[in-house]
Structure 1
């Protein structure tokens, strides 16, 4: 698979969408290699130091603007 320039996940996705032909050896290799090339996401503990109730209106509006801009939902300017 490396010689073909695809990752184990690319190979398995190709099987699902029909763009790659099934080969038992390649499939087993991809299945065995996938956890090393594509690690699973792990849960992390979040510690929240402040809640919405701790913010005044100006701080809350500033936080909404910052998060909305970072997410691409707001294109700068104000929240009004």
Structure 2
């Protein structure tokens, strides 16, 4: 039993490293160059958001404390 456990402890991380590694010869992602963040920001998916929702989801803001819809659960 111990040899099996030791083998798994050694082999599993090595396999994960090989599978997750793209390496220097990896082909470029489809679509060419990555888009700029500002170009992606102006998305039609954000049109329906309120000002606070937009700031929280797109600008990493936080809502003011004790003002959310679910803060008082008593």
TM-score by length of 1: 0.25
Bigger fraction of residues in helix: 1
Ranked by relative contact order (alpha carbons within 8 Å, sequence separation 6 or more), the top structure is 1
